[in-house]
Structure 1
């Protein structure tokens, strides 16, 4: 795969696509050699707050790093989701990961990156994401059901409610152990 390409699949050499597969019923770890990054954004106009979360796990499903962060301003849900994608990519870049799969339950945010929607109102953020992706050997963006993004979802809502930022390195955040 070409360096920096945004792909819609996880390398055909890793999977036999002819085998029938049952639909997953929970979050699925990434293939060996990959890290999976789940992100979420949360916004509440009623509470005038927004937040994001990032969870990076290895192929064994172990948390490498998790972040929950309130944002300074109340943004739309869509903008919060795009900002969460950007934080996830930048954190993976900082950790010098080489092969990543980024998942979000926001179809619009994933589609904006896949379509390279740099002409949109948040195009500068999409451009930042695309530029950061050039530093990875493989960078894949996938939409997933909110049911499979529950850890990131809970962390984003916790940051919005508590208005406090947390970073966990190598441990599962206590507030999502049961999730």
Structure 2
């Protein structure tokens, strides 16, 4: 699952998104959420991780690799020590979701490795509705999914 959050300092809301693919890169599910009152890019990324892990939990998927393009967020939720930042509660919530899963690995992946990221991030900004797709990918990312699949 790739997760991401998009943040622009002059805007009062952010877009968070995630896409779930099987081991062959084929689409399983995705989400795109617009979230108000986010304070920083790290806050946005942590919310995206939380949303993605909640989707995995709801779908009862326990063996997965979660990728994020925010190395600071990956390090924060991977660190065994308690976080003392303003995001400590959110980090603890993400860590709890990670510990609830049997076999979840979280790792950094550069944004250039996922063209779906750009598409869903843009969509999140333009829509004030929470979107979730299962089984059938939305038309807005079909070409990007194929592009990413062919690059692997």
* TM-score interval, smaller chain: 0.7 to 0.9
Largest Rg, 1 or 2: 1
Runs of 5+ unmatched residues, structure 2: 145-152
1:135 equivalent in structure 2: 100
- The alpha-carbon deviation at position 55 of structure 1 amounts to 0.7
Matched, 1:162 2:127: yes
166-175 vs 42-51, greater mean Cα deviation: 42-51
Q: Which residue, 10, 21, 25 being the options, matches 1:61? A: 25
TM-score normalised to the size of structure 1?
0.74
TM-score normalised to the size of structure 2?
0.86
Report the number of matched residues: 143
Matched, 1:125 2:90: yes
1:101 equivalent in structure 2: 65
**Whole-angstrom CA distance in 2 between matches of 1:161 and 1:64:** 23
1:21 equivalent in structure 2: none
**Whole-angstrom CA distance in 2 between matches of 1:162 and 1:72:** 12
**Whole-angstrom CA distance in 1 between matches of 2:21 and 2:5:** 18
| 1:70-89 alignment, distance < 5 Å | 70-89=34-53
**Whole-angstrom CA distance in 2 between matches of 1:135 and 1:47:** 34
8 Å contact from structure 2 (residues 46, 94) kept in 1: no
- The alpha-carbon deviation at position 108 of structure 1 amounts to 0.8
More helix per residue: 1 or 2? 2
SS at match of 1:134: helix
Q: Which residue, 42, 48, 59 being the options, matches 2:6? A: 42
SS at match of 1:92: helix
